[in-house]
Amino acid sequence: MSNRLASAFVFSGLLAFPGAVQCSALLMPEDEGQLLVTTTFADASDAYDGQGRLIKTPSYKKFETQAYVEYGAASWLTVVAEASGMNFQGSNGQASLAAPNAPHYSGLGLGGLGARVPIGDFGGFFVSLQASARAASSQAAQTFLDMKEREQFDVRLQVFRGVQIADFNGFFDAQFGYRTKGQNGDEARIDLTAGLHLRPDFMVMAQSFTAISLWPSAGNSIAVQKFEISGVYNIDPTFSVQLGFIDSPIGINSPAERGIVTSLWTRF
């Protein structure tokens, strides 16, 4: 779920601190940073088949911890990094859809490093470009991640727009990405995030994460769509906490996963 981390946390600073939306809104200020630590508890006992129909499959449970950090190396450059670990347990020795021969894994997940640069401001739409390299910690970890090989490259165009609805400040963010070596080949990635401050210290956020295999082999097309709704509470100008729920309303050859997400956000 690294895309979810990037999408959520790029804007944590903007939304936790109203008024921060400027031409450099999608980048961290120079010599400042932010860190997001997220835990996800998820399970699945159903999956979507090749026609998008829900069917029964061997169940599994998964616990993930993910860290995502951004740092303003310069006014025009934000460096990003991520790392994760997981515990995956299939049921009764049965495998998950993503890992048919390995129903259990506990250990490090992946690591990633990248950078974001601004493109410009187009009538209030702030646009940036991000590229990153990602690698699984081991071949065993790769089996349980969305990775055909241990190394991946991800590039994405990001568009941000601040909005105001009645007396409430909010935003909309869209990311259009291309990721190599997904579970069934290269993938298109579309991540959408919308947030609205109901109070100065509380925001509701809705997110959609979509992955589509671009050149699948016959009968092996994969489409994954996850939706998350959450609330973010600002404890003080440095720390925020998030609680949310995630579900998979549609898909093709993918698990119908659902779970609970908690996050701690901090700026430094």
Residue 2's SS3 state is helix
pLDDT class for 3, splitting at 50, 70, 90? very low
The predicted pLDDT at position 12 comes to: 47
Tens-digit pLDDT profile for residues 139-196: 888 888 878 899 999 999 999 998 999 989 999 999 999 999 888 889 999 999 999 9
For the chain, domain boundaries: 2-267
Tens-digit pLDDT profile for residues 11-41: 444 444 443 343 335 889 899 999 999 999 9
Top-tier CATH class for 2-267: mainly beta
- Nearest alpha-carbon partner for 158 in 172, 171, 176: 176
- Nearest alpha-carbon partner for 9 in 34, 41, 40, 39: 34
Tens-digit pLDDT profile for residues 59-117: 899 999 999 999 999 999 999 999 999 999 887 644 444 445 557 889 999 999 999 99
Tens-digit pLDDT profile for residues 213-265: 988 665 678 899 999 999 999 999 899 999 999 999 999 999 999 999 999 99
- Nearest alpha-carbon partner for 75 in 144, 135, 153, 23: 23
Angle at 57 between CA 53 and CA 63, to 5 degrees: 110
Tracing tokens 């470009």 back to the chain, one arrives at: 129
Tracing tokens 């508890």 back to the chain, one arrives at: 41
- How far is Cα 136 from Cα 6, in angstroms, rounded to an integer? 18
First to last CA, the chain: 24
